[in-house]
Structure 1
């Protein structure tokens, strides 16, 4: 079903819109933390998260039921800070719901191409990530990165299939939906309206998307990935397309970590080492080629064989 955007009853200035958007993120995120997360963590682990969050995040293994508590904390925070923020922003400022599909149905072949694009981009992404790590960064950024890396490795320990499925939901699906609603359907659309350039909108929202994760040793590869999602949205005008691409990216990592822990594969997607240069070059050619095909298909141009 195709949705047609309603004409907004009013529009705020760029500064006021951004103030409302980020204000909603702060308010809703705070409500989630104080009203739900803190009591939930206290109930499950006995930890006073409000007073000792730093120790809990640095040493989650020292607390009982901390894996489940941290997963639920991630899910609740994402729902409030991303999904509810985006919906409430559009309701307050545009007086309408978020439009997911703005034009005709997306070419079915594009969905298969996205899987090839996201997985095929991984070798090139590893090379960019290794280059990003060589950049000089303040010590506090490095320390913060290591702390987050420790927490990520703790969360991606899946002792059972049930743990894996919950991880796929919390790490894969919920962020894909929430972050695309906020950064593509909301922030990118606002930037495109204000500057009139989809390219400025894509890269600016991608930079903010990457900076929000506060992982500066992977800032540039995450920004480029955000830009890929952004262009998929611009070309197809179907929000489900970047949501699907985002989920494939996150979900592939979760699946490969689970398979490696089960000793089904030896591929280590958590490694910080770049893949060999020939792999990266093939990945670059594949990424460019598939992006070109997706653009042509989304514009109704069927490439001749």
Structure 2
């Protein structure tokens, strides 16, 4: 007598998807690195070619020397940012998940089937995280490497300074339109691209590789921070990456993390604009806004909110007839 078994049917369906989907996590990681490297190379070549065609080789040389006195250099920086970074960061995970593994749902997690209350909790997590981010940033700024690594330390400082100058140039906003443009490009597009790559593909691969959700979240967060090449902001950016990681792990969707990432970036853009126009007196770059009690309070409230977030997310997962759960 034959007995219908939905679980066996799903396993057979998964096997039919093809050998690529059965690839080990380590091989998936290597394959994704190769895909990203290829798209990154093409994006950089395309970006450089566009700048050379539109503005001439002189503009490329000026940007390389961080000579940003030419008014057109800011537009050129936007083109380079999108072509060489944002587009490859977005395209690589999409190509990898959709056309190579053919498993967009698990490797990007684009679904909206989660309680909208999670977006509210995410907002408050980002709000109360500011003191903890500040203290981690202050600790990071005091980093001093041993004397025999002085060359590396100098390179890190130069990289940090170059990143600061480029950020200042892009965030030098004359109008509300400039502010809105940066909110969209830096706030939204960057958040979507980076979350799809890091909390989507990479965190999923590391989850499979380590078989431990917390390890996958923190490893991915560290890689996310290192990827920005701003070493004196490594600790606070790692914390942010971990928060985004928990948002995805508990909800099963990329969008709470995109929302949190957007809030972080957009707040920096809007705060900088308001400070430049003297609408507020508080400098967004001030690193001594909170007290030690504020740091402790921030850490405690974040933990509580993450536990509430997890409970709300898990409470929405109702078992289906075939034994699956809603994410």
1:299 is displaced (CA, Å) by 1.4
Greater CA deviation, 196-205 or 277-286?
A: 277-286
Tell me the residue number matched to 2:37.
Answer: 26
Tell me the residue number matched to 1:280.
Answer: 295
**What does the per-residue CA deviation read over 1:265-290, in whole Å, with 9 as the maximum and x for residues that have no partner?**
12222234463223222222222221
RMSD: 2.3
Residues 1:9 and 2:11 aligned together? no
1:191 is displaced (CA, Å) by 0.9
CA distance in 1, matches of 2:192, 2:280: 28
Report the secondary structure of 2:104's partner residue: coil
Matches within 5 A, 1:146-295: 146-273=161-288, 275-295=290-310
Residues 1:85 and 2:96 aligned together? no
Which structure 2 residue ranges, 5 or more long, are not aligned?
Answer: 1-9, 146-152, 317-327
Matches within 5 A, 1:52-201: 53-55=63-65, 58-60=66-68, 62-99=69-106, 101=109, 105-137=113-145, 138-201=153-216
Return closer, same or farther for 1:219/1:170 CA change in 2, 3 Å cut-off. Answer: same
CA distance in 2, matches of 1:272, 1:150: 18
CA distance in 1, matches of 2:198, 2:236: 16
CA distance in 1, matches of 2:32, 2:109: 22
1:154 is displaced (CA, Å) by 1.1
**What does the per-residue CA deviation read over 1:93-151, in whole Å, with 9 as the maximum and x for residues that have no partner?**
41233455588832222211111110210111101100011111411101110111111
Q: Which has the larger radius of gyration?
A: 2
State the TM-score, normalizing by the size of structure 2.
Answer: 0.82
Count of residues in Structure 1 that have an aligned counterpart in Structure 2: 293
1:246 is displaced (CA, Å) by 0.8
CA distance in 1, matches of 2:42, 2:89: 13
CA distance in 1, matches of 2:136, 2:191: 22
CA distance in 2, matches of 1:223, 1:141: 17
1:18 is displaced (CA, Å) by 2.1
